[in-house]
Structure 1
């Protein structure tokens, strides 16, 4: 398999993380923002939606969207709950991550860290993203203050999915992670999983 992956992206990272946790081999092809590699990948048709990550299977089929890739890779593993309702709850967290969490936590980090997006980082927008992101993190904190994992009694794709942008919310997004002790403990539990790899790996 090949993974067309943006090294700095939490969406790409969550796929690399799951590959590590599963112990699966994959050829990682870096396609960072504003690089010729990204332009070539787009021109070759390897990025159906115009962005990474995209998993290219051995038979040439292309699977875009990070959470769809997580579901495909996780099929049949312990990261997908066997109980149908618990599995649906896992998916609800994953949908929420893309629909809500990423739109504040990841976007604020992008505006701060990608030079080509800094013009969009008006004081008003950054303040609003900070407030909204803290509110989204508080939803996670509420769950994790009483449970080790986001769904059921074991780590699932929901945890891998939310870890991608949450673990750099303070360092890259400027969020006050001291407010969220349960999230910080959860981050440590994810980082202690066998096969864990950091975002730079």
Structure 2
């Protein structure tokens, strides 16, 4: 397999993390923002939706979207609950991550990290994203204050999915993570999983 991956992206990282936790071999092709590699991948039609990550299977089929890739890779593994309700709850967190969490937590970080986006980082927008992000992080805290994992009693794709941007919410996004001790303990549990690799690896 081949993963077309943006090194700095939490969406790409969550796929690399699952691959590492599963011990799966995969060629990684870096396609960072504003690079020739990204433009070449687009020209070669390797990015169906125009962005990374995309998993290219051995037979040439292309699977875009990080959470769809997680579901495909996770099929039949310990990261997908056996109980039907827990599986649905896992998907609920994953849908919420893309619909709510990513558009605030990741966006605030991107406005600070990527030079070509800093012009959009007005004080008003950054303050709004900070407030909205703290509300979203509290949703996670409400679960993780009393539970080890987002779903059931074991790590699932929901945890890997939400770890992608949450683990850098403080360092990149400027969110006040000390307000969320349950999230902090959860981050440590994920980092302690066998096979774990950080975003820089």
Give the 3-state SS of the residue equivalent to 2:37 in structure 1: helix
1:23 to partner: Cα distance: 0.2
Aligned equivalents of 2:15, 2:75: Cα separation in 1: 14
1:6 to partner: Cα distance: 0.1
Aligned to 1:23: 23
1:109 to partner: Cα distance: 0.1
User: TM-score, normalised to structure 1's length?
Assistant: 1.00
1:38 to partner: Cα distance: 0.1
- Superposed CA RMSD: 0.3
Aligned equivalents of 1:200, 1:31: Cα separation in 2: 15
Give the 3-state SS of the residue equivalent to 1:8 in structure 2: coil
Aligned to 1:121: 121
Aligned equivalents of 1:48, 1:108: Cα separation in 2: 26
Give the 3-state SS of the residue equivalent to 2:142 in structure 1: helix
1:181 to partner: Cα distance: 0.4
1:138 paired with 2:138, answer: yes
Aligned to 2:33: 33
1:71 to partner: Cα distance: 0.2
Aligned equivalents of 2:42, 2:200: Cα separation in 1: 23
User: TM-score, normalised to structure 2's length?
Assistant: 1.00
1:106 to partner: Cα distance: 0.2
Aligned to 1:171: 171
Aligned to 1:52: 52
Aligned equivalents of 1:66, 1:123: Cα separation in 2: 30
Give the unaligned 5+ runs of structure 1: none
1:124 to partner: Cα distance: 0.5
- Provide, for residues 18-66 of structure 1, a one-character-per-residue CA deviation record: whole Å limited to 9, x for no partner: 0000000000000000000000000100000000000000000000000
Aligned equivalents of 1:47, 1:90: Cα separation in 2: 26
Aligned to 2:69: 69
1:83 paired with 2:83, answer: yes
Aligned equivalents of 1:97, 1:162: Cα separation in 2: 6
Count how many residue pairs are aligned between Structure 1 and Structure 2.
201
Aligned equivalents of 1:124, 1:102: Cα separation in 2: 19
Aligned equivalents of 1:85, 1:186: Cα separation in 2: 22
Runs of 4+ in 1 over 3 A off after TM superposition: none
- Provide, for residues 96-153 of structure 1, a one-character-per-residue CA deviation record: whole Å limited to 9, x for no partner: 0000000110000000000000111111000000000000000000000010000011
